[in-house]
Amino acid sequence: MVEADLERAEERAESGESYVARKLVLMEQDLERAEERAEVGEGKIVELEEELRVVGNNLKSLEVSEEKANQREEEYKQQIKNLNNRLKEAEARAEFAERSVQKLQKEVDRLEDELVHEKEKYKYICDDLDMTFTELIEKN
């Protein structure tokens, strides 16, 4: 009986060993798969970190571009303001010049009318003088 117990114990030990060996093989396979997944995951992490670095650099570049664009926009706004002021000044000068031209034209018209009137007076005086000379000559 001891022998039978010993045999049974050996059988159980052998079956336990084979169970443990199978379990060990399965665990080693699981470990290999987990290590492969970890390597793939680490590769993805490296890729994502590189992509994040590129995106960060692009963001910095965009921020710099935005700042430059904002500066140009402010400069353009200032230029527009200056040009609008100059336009208003030019329009005011043009209106003043127009009024001055109208006044001068009125003055020219008045002087021309006066000149015509003075010419008529001169002609009348000349005619009167001619008549006076003619009368003097005829009397003599």
Confidence band of 91 (pLDDT split at 50, 70, 90): very high
Q: Choose the weakest-confidence range: 10-14, 58-62, 112-116, 130-134.
A: 10-14
Secondary structure letter of residue 30 according to DSSP = H
Distance CA 76, CA 83 (A): 10
Confidence (pTM): 0.51
Q: Kindly report the CA angle at 78 between 73 and 80, in degrees rounded to 5?
A: 90
Confidence band of 6 (pLDDT split at 50, 70, 90): low
Q: Choose the weakest-confidence range: 8-17, 26-35, 72-81.
A: 8-17
Distance CA 110, CA 103 (A): 10
